[in-house]
């Protein structure tokens, strides 16, 4: 069929493998599920088994594909990697190579035409239509840290057969438990696949459209508690896009992020290590910057009704002072931690007897050299201890200053963002 005159040329072609697979299993599910429900009763074992597979698949995507491989926010034992790779393959979302490659491109070019699932192109594009279009080949440089790993190369080369094999194993296991081969296929395979897919895809679509933006408004990602429940912790997406290198998505204890809890637990039993987390002072600094941006927008909206320049000056001064104290507190805290670690290391060395050789010296000249050196070391330790004490005092002073300024800052944010414009016009900007 010829193209209409003047119509723009289509810059993409259909990926028939993905289109037939995704369209085919959706169609099969929509046909078979009503028939199964009408003719059979799903047993409790079938429902629980399907829920367990759904849970493990989502955790494998969240903990494995996303936080372990795409962002390298922690490292784990090979047995845990094998477990996550099995259930990640069962999830039928592509190989670790392809998933990590597309996700890193997404973060690098978020909300642009180079973003594979760019949210500004619409809900259905970011949710699933992007997968029906042919994508460029994987660029090894984007995933150079993963590319040379034999186990991941094997999964990528044989993904099709491995995907079928893992799903057959899961179906057979569920059949053996429930005695229901049809239900294990319709509910335990097709419906489970459908739920895993759409819950994951919601992060590419709804998590860029529906929610709050407490950390950054520079991208479309949002925080959404409901999506966190559906995806086992991935719904705090505004935080994730602001601090992608953190193994946590929900940074508060009360935020629903089971993947974070599992990773932390694995670290406590020696099965995970090198957990990366953003310093809480860095997070606060980012929140201040986000609040400042929102307040400046609100003040600009009221340009003709309030003293804009005075309000802007006050916000800028408060933000600069608070940011400076946060920077100073982080610098002092980091220095304090390094000095304390050095002191603890020396204490451990002394306790372990690593200085025994020095104490066994008998030569007078060596003895004198040792005494001179020990005197220098004692002086350095005294200086360090004095610095530790001074830093400790400085940290307490900065904590107090930050605490007071944060309270004043919250009051200002509340006043500027939530008060009616009539009140902003009456309240003098410089107080």
**Residue 212 within a domain:** yes
69, 122: one domain: yes
**Residue 1 within a domain:** no
Are 251 and 233 contacting, i.e. CB atoms less than 8 angstroms apart? no
pTM of the model: 0.78
Are 71 and 245 contacting, i.e. CB atoms less than 8 angstroms apart? yes
Q: Which residue range is the domain that position 361 belongs to?
A: 280-426
66 secondary structure, DSSP code: I
269, 292: one domain: no
365, 325: one domain: yes
Among the candidates 273, 295, 315, a domain finishes at 273
184, 84: one domain: yes
CA-CA distance, 22 to 170, in Å (whole number)?
19
CA-CA distance, 250 to 360, in Å (whole number)?
55
- E strand or H helix at 188: none
Indicate the number of domains in the chain: 2
Could you read off the pLDDT tens digit of each residue along the chain, which spans 431 residues?
344 444 344 466 899 999 999 999 999 999 999 999 999 999 999 999 999 999 999 999 999 999 999 999 999 999 999 999 999 999 999 999 999 999 999 999 999 999 999 999 999 999 999 999 998 899 999 999 999 999 999 999 999 999 999 999 999 999 999 999 999 999 999 999 999 999 999 999 999 999 998 888 889 999 999 999 999 999 999 999 999 999 999 988 899 999 999 999 999 999 999 999 998 888 888 888 887 878 888 888 877 777 778 888 888 888 888 888 788 877 877 777 777 777 677 666 655 555 455 555 455 555 555 555 555 555 556 666 777 778 778 878 878 887 888 888 788 887 787 777 766 666 655 54
φ, ψ (nearest 5 deg) of residue 168: -65, -40
197, 180: one domain: yes
Choose among 281, 245, 131: nearest CA to 198: 131
302, 402: one domain: yes
- Report, in angstroms and rounded to the nearest whole number, the Rg of the chain calculated over CA atoms: 29
**Residue 332 within a domain:** yes
Choose among 244, 209, 212, 214: nearest CA to 120: 209
């Amino acid at each position: 069929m010829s193209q209409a005159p003047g119509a723009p040329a289509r810059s993409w072609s259909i990926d028939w493998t993905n289109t037939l697979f995704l369209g085919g299993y959706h169609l099969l599910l929509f046909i078979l599920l009503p028939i199964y429900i009408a003719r059979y009763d799903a047993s409790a074992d079938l429902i629980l088994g399907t829920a367990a597979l759904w849970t493990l698949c989502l955790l494998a995507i969240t903990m494995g594909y996303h936080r372990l491989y795409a962002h390298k926010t922690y490292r784990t034992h090979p047995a845990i990697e094998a477990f996550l790779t099995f259930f990640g393959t069962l999830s039928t979302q592509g190989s670790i190579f392809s998933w990590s490659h597309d996700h890193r491109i997404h973060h690098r070019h978020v909300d642009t035409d180079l973003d594979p699932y760019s949210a500004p192109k619409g809900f259905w594009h970011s949710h699933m239509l992007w997968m029906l279009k042919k994508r460029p080949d994987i660029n090894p440089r984007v995933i150079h840290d993963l590319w040379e790993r034999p186990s991941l190369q094997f999964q990528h080369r044989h993904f099709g057969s491995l995907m079928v094999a893992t799903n057959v194993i899961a179906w057979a296991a569920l059949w053996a438990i429930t005695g229901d081969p049809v239900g294990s296929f319709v509910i335990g395979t097709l419906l489970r696949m459908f739920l895993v897919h759409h819950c994951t895809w919601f992060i590419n679509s709804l998590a860029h459209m529906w929610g709050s933006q407490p950390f950054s408004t520079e991208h479309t990602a949002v925080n959404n508690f409901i999506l966190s429940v559906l995806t086992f912790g991935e719904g705090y997406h505004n935080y994730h896009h602001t601090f992608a290198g953190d193994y946590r998505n929900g940074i508060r204890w009360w935020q629903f992020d089971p993947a974070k809890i599992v990773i932390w637990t694995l670290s406590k039993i020696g099965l995970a290590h090198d957990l990366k987390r953003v310093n809480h002072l860095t997070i606060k600094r980012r929140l201040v910057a986000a609040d400042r941006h929102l307040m400046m927008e609100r003040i600009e909206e009221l340009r003709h009704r309030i003293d804009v320049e005075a309000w802007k000056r006050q916000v800028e001064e408060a933000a600069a002072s608070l940011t400076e104290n946060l920077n100073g507190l982080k610098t002092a805290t980091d220095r304090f931690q390094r000095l304390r670690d050095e002191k603890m290391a020396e204490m451990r060395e002394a306790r372990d007897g690593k200085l025994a050789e020095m104490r066994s010296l008998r030569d007078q000249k060596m003895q004198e050299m040792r005494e001179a050196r020990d005197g220098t070391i004692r002086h350095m330790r005294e200086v360090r201890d004095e610095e530790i004490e001074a830093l400790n005092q400085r940290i307490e002073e900065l904590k107090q200053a930050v605490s007071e300024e944060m309270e004043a800052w919250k009051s200002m944010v509340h006043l500027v963002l939530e008060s009616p414009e009539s009140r902003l016009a009456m309240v003098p900007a410089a107080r």
